[in-house]
């Protein structure tokens, strides 16, 4: 993994990570914790999951601290500091759900389905019943050891057609603004972002009430959800 981008001015004071929290103690959460302990031996790696048995097993085997709590509730409660790196390993759009919790403190929020008009802007879009859209440059199962090189695909050896987080940022849909949370690769197959990035995402959304397409994405894969929020005294627009 190249750390050139992570060593930029935005992250210079918080990379390499000193604190990392893995959200989810399933198979992927355990792999993430193992790899991050090896990659950043000086960092304090912890894990959070609502399943006490899973947390107990991982904390015992890996010798790391853990908390038994639902992941979104956990990061909403602790108000993640700038330097805490979060590693989502749960089947939830963590950044989106956290943003909804935070917006509910100052306004009224309504979930919206991602409109179909985004499909022409995204590679291989898949809509699911919840209204979420998944997109990926890959049409194959990516190798577990992928190091997300800047220019080429690890699997094909060919030039990557772009960075998906930039593609998400350029998506146009009538009545929506876009807000994108970039996932940075910290170890092979393991991505995440610091609390600083969450706060930056929220600052952009909270600065202007309205409808937003909220995405989290690395270079190749991403997820998008939609919401509308209004200050409490103005109310929400009616359903179509």
Q: What is the pTM of this model?
A: 0.91
Q: For residue 3, is it within any domain?
A: no
Q: For residue 136, is it within any domain?
A: yes
**Domain total for the chain?**
1
Q: For residue 29, is it within any domain?
A: yes
Q: For residue 238, is it within any domain?
A: no
- Give yes or no for a contact between 226 and 127, defined as CB atoms under 8 angstroms apart: no
* CA diameter of the chain: 54
Per-residue pLDDT of the chain (240 residues; tens, 9 = 90+): 444 466 566 898 999 999 999 999 999 999 999 999 999 999 999 999 999 999 999 999 999 999 999 999 999 999 999 999 999 999 999 999 999 999 999 999 999 999 999 999 999 999 999 999 999 998 878 777 777 877 777 767 778 889 999 999 999 999 999 999 999 999 999 999 999 999 999 999 999 999 999 999 999 999 999 999 998 875 555 444
Q: For residue 183, is it within any domain?
A: yes
Neighbouring C-beta atoms of residue 3, cutoff 10 Å: 13
Q: For residue 141, is it within any domain?
A: yes
Please state, in angstroms and rounded to a whole number, the distance separating the CA atoms of residues 86 and 71. Answer: 10
Q: For residue 194, is it within any domain?
A: yes
Going by DSSP bridges, is the β-strand pair 210-217/176-182 parallel, antiparallel, or unpaired?
parallel
- Non-local (6+) Cβ contacts of 35 within 8 A are 187, 188, 189, 190
Q: For residue 5, is it within any domain?
A: no
Its domain, for residue 222, covers: 19-231
């Amino acid at each position: 993994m190249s750390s050139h981008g992570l060593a930029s001015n935005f992250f210079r004071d918080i990379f390499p990570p000193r604190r990392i929290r893995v959200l989810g103690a399933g198979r992927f959460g355990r792999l993430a914790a193992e790899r991050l302990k090896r990659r950043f031996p000086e960092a304090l790696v912890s894990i959070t999951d609502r399943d006490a048995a899973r947390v107990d097993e991982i904390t015992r085997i890996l010798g790391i601290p853990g908390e038994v709590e639902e992941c979104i509730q956990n990061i909403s409660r602790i108000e993640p500091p700038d330097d805490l790196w979060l590693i989502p390993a749960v089947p939830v759009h963590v950044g989106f759900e956290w943003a909804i919790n935070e917006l509910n403190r100052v306004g009224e929020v309504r979930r919206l389905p991602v409109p179909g008009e985004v499909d022409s802007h995204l590679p291989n879009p898949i809509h699911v019943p919840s209204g979420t859209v998944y997109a990926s440059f890959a049409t194959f199962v990516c190798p577990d050891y992928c190091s997300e090189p800047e220019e080429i695909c690890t699997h094909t050896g060919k030039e990557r057609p772009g960075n998906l987080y930039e593609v998400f940022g350029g998506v146009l849909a009538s009545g929506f603004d876009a807000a994108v949370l970039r996932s940075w690769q910290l170890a092979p197959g393991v991505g995440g972002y610091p609390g600083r990035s969450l706060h930056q995402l929220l600052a952009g959304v909270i600065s202007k009430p309205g409808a937003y397409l909220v995405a989290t994405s690395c270079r190749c894969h991403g997820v998008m959800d939609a919401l509308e929020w209004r200050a409490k005294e103005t109310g929400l627009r009616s359903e179509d």
